[in-house]
Amino acid sequence: MRKKWLVTLMSVMLVSSLVLAACGKDTASENGKDAEAEDTVTLNLYTWINEENGSWEKTIAAYEEANPGVKINVNALVENMDARDYLKKLDLLAASGDKLDLIMFSSSEDLAKRISAGMVDPLNAYLDEEGVNAEEIYNMGVTPADENGTYYALPMKYNTYLIMMNKDHLDEAGLAVPTDWTWDDYKAYAKQLTTDQRYGSYLHTWSTIYDTLKLFSKGDESLLIKADGSSNMEDPAVEASLQLRYELERVDQSSEPYANIVSQKLNYRQQFFTEKASMVPIPSYMVTEWGGFTPEFTIAWAPWPKDKADDEQYRFASADMIALGKNSEHKEEAYKFMRWMSTEGMLVQNKAIPAWKQTDVKEVLNNLVATTANPAAVDVESLTYVLETGEEAKQFLPAGYMTEVYNAYKAEVEKYLLGEQELDATMKNATDAVQKVIDRNK
């Protein structure tokens, strides 16, 4: 009986020790997880680019694998890829005091407005500490410093302004892909490409591009405000741009009329890929961003037309850029991600031409084109030529109220394009309207 009791007691003690050991192990495991969670830095990235167009899942996974202890949350604030809608939501988040670690912008104008609002942090101290010269690493012309030499963002996607063309239409009309041409040549091409089924040209509703076409043919001062903050409305290229559009649409009838575009809510992708337009002036993001369309024709590319034949060839460009949030609590980690995302991360993402100088253009293009629904549709030869031809136009960080300037300009330009106002009256009214915006923001 005593022996049986001892065996029972020893069994109970053994089970108890095993249970305690297991509990201790579980507690240690939980403590380890808690410690690991406490050591993890979580950064929030805000963008308008969705998963389909950003390949964020694989891109972020690559960074997190190489940087244990850092987690990146991608917050695509809109699904429609509309940067205007995105900025509205972003501004609301900032106003409510949300911690914005990493913020993407699609233009210097949008960045400048948020600099004025105190949303983003200067980068010079981080660049200096790392010992790097941003101008040597990136095409910083698309994300310029302010008048004091302060940088506020790093460029990611590099968008060269060019002419996207339906090469099948060119061949049909007996026209070569242009390599050196003027806006007069563009008008002549548009006429020859126009048929009963299509227009030779399509100019969208954006005043920032399509109502100032000739400004982008220049080597500098390509905006409606100059670098010194004064109005650029007296530049002859402004009036000439309006004349060009008016003649294409209302005189030659070789470009989709503005009235049709507005009333029918036409879109440049739809018009080009359904072959209702042969040429579209557009930034180079259109190399891959087809918006669900699959072209069954060859897309060729031409340089931005010059004003006169003997003018220098310039390349105006814009960029998607990434900035550091002013109220981020993890600025060092955020800056490190910015540097990776704007260099190696762009190659991992493989969705756009990087502003990073240490890349082979042809290799990048071949990799990008391979990701499209129809790689054979892209004429890589003409595209490479455009991206490597000409001198990059000089740019400056615009005023934070630049959007107001273009809205005031557009209000008068629309009347002209719709035939409701003569050109002289349009220029006078637009010049006065732009000056009022400048004066109001002094």
pLDDT digits (tens, 9 = 90+) for 396-441: 999 889 999 999 999 999 999 999 999 999 999 999 999 999 999 9
What whole-number distance in Å separates Cα of residue 199 and Cα of residue 257? 10
What is the pLDDT averaged over residues 276-283?
Answer: 98
Confidence of residue 291 (pLDDT cuts 50, 70, 90): confident
b/e per residue, 393-416, with b = 16+ CB within 10 A?
bebbbbbbbbbbbbebbbebbbeb
Residue 22 lies in a domain: no
Residue 26 lies in a domain: no
Same domain, 312 and 323: no
Residue 117 lies in a domain: yes
Residue 166: what residue type? Answer: N
Same domain, 199 and 51: no
For residue 90, is it left (φ>0), alpha (ψ between -120 and 50) or beta?
A: alpha
Q: What pLDDT is stored for residue 442 in this prediction? A: 86
* Mean pLDDT score across all residues of the chain: 92
Q: What angle do CA 300, 305, 310 make, to 5 degrees?
A: 130
Chain segment 171-194, per-residue pLDDT in tens: 999 999 999 999 999 999 999 999
Q: Read off φ and ψ for residue 95, nearest 5 degrees.
A: -65, -30
Confidence of residue 2 (pLDDT cuts 50, 70, 90): very low
Q: What pLDDT is stored for residue 80 in this prediction? A: 83
Q: What pLDDT is stored for residue 397 in this prediction? A: 92
| Number of domain units in the chain | 2
Q: In this structure, how many other beta carbons lie within 10 angstroms of the beta carbon of residue 134?
A: 16
319 within 8 A of 346, measured Cβ to Cβ = no
The strand pair at 154-166 and 317-324 is best described as antiparallel
Same domain, 406 and 338: no
Last residue of a domain, one of 348, 375, 402: 375
3-state helix, strand, coil in the chain (%, to 5): 50, 15, 35
CATH number of the domain where residue 163 is located = 3.40.190.10
Same domain, 106 and 119: yes
The answer, yes or no, to whether residue 21 has pLDDT greater than 80, is no
Same domain, 333 and 395: no
Residue 231 lies in a domain: yes
Residue 433 lies in a domain: yes
Q: What pLDDT is stored for residue 14 in this prediction? A: 41
Q: What pLDDT is stored for residue 126 in this prediction? A: 98
Instruction: Give residue 214's domain range.
Output: 159-317+383-440
DSSP per-residue string spanning 18-29: HHHHHHHHHHHH
Same domain, 254 and 399: yes
Same domain, 286 and 327: no
Residue 65: what residue type? Answer: E
The answer, yes or no, to whether residue 332 has pLDDT greater than 50, is yes
Residue 16 lies in a domain: no
Residue 438: what residue type? Answer: I
The answer, yes or no, to whether residue 288 has pLDDT greater than 80, is yes
Q: What pLDDT is stored for residue 220 in this prediction? A: 95
Q: Read off φ and ψ for residue 191, nearest 5 degrees.
A: -60, -45
315 within 8 A of 161, measured Cβ to Cβ = yes
The pTM for the full model equals 0.86
Return the beta strands (E) in 34-101 as ranges: 41-47, 70-76
User: No. of H helices and E strands in the chain?
Assistant: 19, 10
Residue 124 C-alpha from the chain's centroid: 22
Return the beta strands (E) in 117-213 as ranges: 154-166, 199-201
Chain segment 237-260, per-residue pLDDT in tens: 999 999 999 999 999 999 999 999
Q: What pLDDT is stored for residue 82 in this prediction? A: 86
What is the pLDDT averaged over residues 142-154?
Answer: 94
Last residue of a domain, one of 338, 356, 375: 375
Last residue of a domain, one of 354, 375, 396: 375
Same domain, 309 and 335: no
Count of positions (residues) in the chain: 442
The strand pair at 391-392 and 314-315 is best described as parallel
Chain segment 72-106, per-residue pLDDT in tens: 999 999 988 888 899 999 999 999 999 999 999 99
Q: What pLDDT is stored for residue 392 in this prediction? A: 92
b/e per residue, 223-238, with b = 16+ CB within 10 A?
bbbebeeebbbebebb
What is the pLDDT averaged over residues 34-38?
Answer: 52
Same domain, 207 and 98: no
Q: What pLDDT is stored for residue 81 in this prediction? A: 84
Same domain, 163 and 152: no
CA dihedral sign, ordered 273, 278, 281, 286:
positive
187 within 8 A of 252, measured Cβ to Cβ = yes
Confidence of residue 387 (pLDDT cuts 50, 70, 90): very high
Q: What pLDDT is stored for residue 258 in this prediction? A: 98
N- to C-terminal Cα distance for the chain? 101
Same domain, 111 and 229: no
Q: What pLDDT is stored for residue 9 in this prediction? A: 35
In the three-class reduction of DSSP (H, G, I as helix; E, B as strand; rest coil), residue 143 is classed as coil
Same domain, 240 and 388: yes
Residue 4 lies in a domain: no
Confidence of residue 38 (pLDDT cuts 50, 70, 90): low
